[in-house]
Each structure stands twice: as C-alpha cells, then as structure tokens.
Amino acid sequence: MFVSDMMRSPVTVIPAGAPLGEAHAIFQARGFRHLPVVDQGRLVGVLTDRDLRFAMSTLCPTPRTAGDPVSLAMSSPALTADPLDPVEDAARIMRERKIGCLPVVDGTELVGILTGMDLLDALMKLTGVTRPSSRLEVALADRPGELARLTAFLAERHVNIHSILTCPAPDGIVRTVLRLDSSQARPLAEALRVVGFQILWPPPKPWPH
C-alpha cells in the first residue's frame, strides 16, 4: 500500500500571507487540524491547530494576533512524502518526528496530505477488519517454513486468508495474526492445536463440568 492509496486529495491550503484569523475560521468550520501553507503555489510550511493556539497564547514569547500572517506561526520547512512512498514508511516518519501529517508532494506539486487518521484507515485495511472475517493468532517458531506450514494447513481446508500480520516476540516466537474468510475460527484453532501449533486466539473451548 502506497501513500497515494490513502492520502486525501485535493488539499485545502492557506497562503503564507493570510491572517491567522482566517486559518482559525477554517479549522473551526472544516474540523481540520493541519493546513499546508503555500507561497505562490509552492509549499513553504504547515500550520497546525496547536501552532495556532500557541502563537496566540500568552505562552508564546511574541504573542500573535488574528491579523498576523500565517507565516509567523507555521512550522517550516515541512516534512513531506512522495505518492509512491510505502505507507508504513510514512507512518514511521510521523511517529519518529512526532508529527500529525505529511503533505504529499509529486515533484514540486502538492498533490495530497496524509494524516494520522488516514494511517488508522490504512491499518484497518491491512489487517482485513473492514471485511467480514474471523481472527486467528498463532505463535510460530522464528524459523523458515513455519508460516508456510500454517498457510498450507489452511489451504488444505479451503480457507481463504484476507491478511497476515506478524510481530516478533521474546524466546524466538513470532506472533502471527491472520484474518480468515471463515466463521469456523474455533474449530480451526482446535485442529491446529492437535497438530502441534500454539494458538493464542481463540482460546481453547472450556471443558464441560
């Protein structure tokens, strides 16, 4: 999945010379938290609702007024993404730099914006939760062939896999979460336990007392 698959386009922008009061009105009316700032069509920064609140508060060394230009409160230069960047790379940059959006630039043209909410949407699509499915979580040994053994078991039973996500865990284990096109997750889990797989979800069916 690429940034272009999840970015929002077209983008609402604000000129660097526009008054902060105008930016505030856009934030209020549109529910935005980020506005790319342009100067003669060129991206020069990003204004966030937090930037705006700080700039107009007494905490700011030089408090701004509603008539001051956006350029005095924006963050600049702006970190950007390319439309063909993998969405997980964009997520890593946003997490490492603790920012809530990435303007998307193709060459010199601003073509979109990627926000934290867009990344949540991407996660939902990648995990398959947007489609009817069952969840299966397996602890696999971290060695070649284990995932293939698991998927072969499911293929033999004509179970379609919507998504697979893995996460390394201690003691040489890889937690593997699958979304399956099946309502039989519990019987499948029991069958997998019988042949030696460690199933983390669903839990074993309790024995009757």
pTM equals 0.85
pLDDT in tens, 139-153: 999 999 999 999 999
Q: What is the average pLDDT across 167-176?
A: 93
- 3-class SS at 197? coil
When pLDDT is cut at 50, 70 and 90, the band that residue 61 belongs to is: very high
- The domain ranges of the chain are 3-124, 131-201
pLDDT in tens, 105-152: 999 899 999 999 999 999 999 888 888 899 999 999 999 999 999 999
Asked whether the domain spanning 131-201 has the same topology as the one spanning 3-124, the reply is no
Burial of residue 55 (number of CB atoms within 10 Å: 0-12, 13-18, 19+): buried
CATH class in words for 131-201? alpha beta
**Percentage of residues in the chain having pLDDT higher than 70:** 98
pLDDT value of position 10? 95
pLDDT for 208: 53
166: confidence class by pLDDT, cuts 50, 70, 90: very high
- Domain range 3-124, CATH architecture: Roll (3.10)
pLDDT at 30 > cutoff 70: yes
pLDDT tens, position by position, 178-200: 999 988 899 999 999 999 999 99
The string over 160-178, giving b where at least 16 C-beta atoms fall within 10 Å of a residue's C-beta and e elsewhere, is: ebbebeeeeeeeebbebbb
